[in-house]
A = this chain, B = another copy of it.
């Protein structure tokens, strides 16, 4: 063991606490039985965890990337409700074989990503385990409650960005594909998915919204069912999206169908929304009926979603 619990808590606290001290809404920060924070009338709460060798791998990703990625997953779920993230707590399992610098880098990845979304880590728990595990809970301020059930006939359907990059990055790494410049964006999105707070907040007039972390196909079906409408997605509109040609080139290098990446991949933390005149990529329309229809697609995309 390179450290004891008190040292780890002290090092991590010194990374998270400055964000609390600058934040007048954090009344009691790290170090007591619980944090005390100012909350609004309605709050959102969500939790998402990342486990070594299931969701991440220390050979593939840096500590900073691992910390950032799980933070993005939690923040995206808050934005997907039309809410604004405010507070995070982190339960962390360490094996005892990590270097202190690795732990500090991971905490820095969490802190920087939280800070970019005006959020602060206000508490945590630390334990020993056989694998590294980061379990995070995000609390945010909600005024809107944009659920999956608000899609209306006549709405347009939007994505905040083209999905598929994260799955492509996973394929490159897991199949040990020789890496070239065509793979850069996919690898970056897998290791540390981008989260643009300004873009995420620009969807607050959506009627229905969710993130597509479980794949576009799975989550469009969930939205269709929850809203009792049909979602008609036009593949040609997606083909015109920024990055499509590049993603198609990556898919070609991997010998997979680009639509399997776009519709069947996951972990992109892209928003799927319906409404009128939303930003992002207009990909189709909400119609009467049920289910999800992909127009002009040669074969049905597969979903890779499984128990992880």
Contact = CB atoms under 8 A, between A and B. Distances in A.
Given A40-B39, A128-B54, A135-B135, A87 B45 contact: yes
Contact of A89 (B27, B45, B123): B45
A207 to B, nearest CB: 14
A65 interface: no
A135 B49 contact: yes
Interface in A63-87: 76-78, 80-81, 83, 87
Count of chain copies: 2
A28 B142 CA distance: 11
A276 B90 CA distance: 35
A42 interface: yes
A139 B124 CA distance: 13
A65 B128 CA distance: 21
Contacts of A37: 42-45
Given A33-B77, A33-B209, A137-B137, 18 more contacts: A32-B210, A33-B46, A33-B210, A34-B45, A34-B80, A34-B138, A35-B45, A36-B44, A36-B83, A37-B45, A39-B43, A43-B139, A45-B123, A45-B137, A46-B89, A49-B125, A49-B135, A51-B127
Interface of A: 1, 4-5, 27-28, 32-49, 51, 54-55, 76-78, 80-81, 83, 87, 89-91, 93, 96, 122-125, 127-131, 133, 135, 137-140, 142, 145, 147-148, 209-211, 306-308
